[in-house]
Amino acid sequence: MNNSQLCQTLVKAVEEADSSKTLLEAVQNLADASLEESVPTLIAALGYNNPGAAVAAVDGLVKIGKPAVTPLLELIDNYNYGARAWAVRALAGIGDPRGLETLLDAAKNDFALSVRRAAARGLGIIKWQELPLEEAKIAQQRAYEVLTVVCQDPEWVVRYAGVVGLERLAIAIFKVQGELVVKITSDLEKVMAEDEEVSLRTRAELALQTLRIESNQLNQNASRLRLNSQQSTKQEKEEDYAQRGEGRRN
């Protein structure tokens, strides 16, 4: 059985499911197959009144990745809020830059804390390398600004996601946006010192430790490169001197 035939069989099982349990199992099987042809059916499952099936569909769409992004973005304008919320979760997990605008809006404005949380985490794992450098820098600045708003959210679980998003964003931009990393570090220090939730202060402290390790590694790598460059230059000079000396003897 080839992939097309397998997909048809799995899709048919979803369409013919006659109970919540069989629907969940059918969607899980379809999601596990990670077939691009299954995207329309998995997206349809986001709108079913079956949270378990929706979770399985999101997992499947995330595994499929880029081919699912355009259909998901088209769903965002659908009036079915439930499907839209699940679509945001899928886009957050995929990390494609095409979903950036949706994630920025959802992280700051969505009324459901679970959607704001998912969008905030998603802003930390955008695949910035898929954008031109200058465009990526502008987008990273926008993501940073939204994440700082998220860190003021009234729900602590959303603020927690904001801290995670800031940490991941900082790691992603360490080599290209040093000034922004400094701002993120300052924001994390503020959370660690002022947030009322112990778990959030602890998570901010962990993020700062991670960034310090990242900074140390970056500095060590830079030192090695300078040392290697100096050694290469010295060796080239010695070889050049030796060659000139040999030339004189000849």
The two three-digit tokens of residue 91, written as one number: 């886009």
State pLDDT tens for residues 1-49. Answer: 788 889 999 999 999 999 999 999 999 999 999 999 999 999 999 988 8
At residue 157's C-alpha, the angle toward residues 175 and 91, to 5°, is 60
Half-sphere exposure of 231 (CA within 13 A, CB side): 6
The two three-digit tokens of residue 111, written as one number: 């009324």
In Å, how far from its chain's centre is CA 93?
6
Helices (H), 76-112: 81-94, 100-109
The two three-digit tokens of residue 249, written as one number: 């003897």
State pLDDT tens for residues 86-143. Answer: 999 999 999 999 999 999 999 999 999 999 999 999 999 999 999 999 999 999 999 9
Q: What is the pTM of this model?
A: 0.82
Q: What pLDDT score does 192 carry? A: 96
What DSSP state is assigned to residue 70?
H
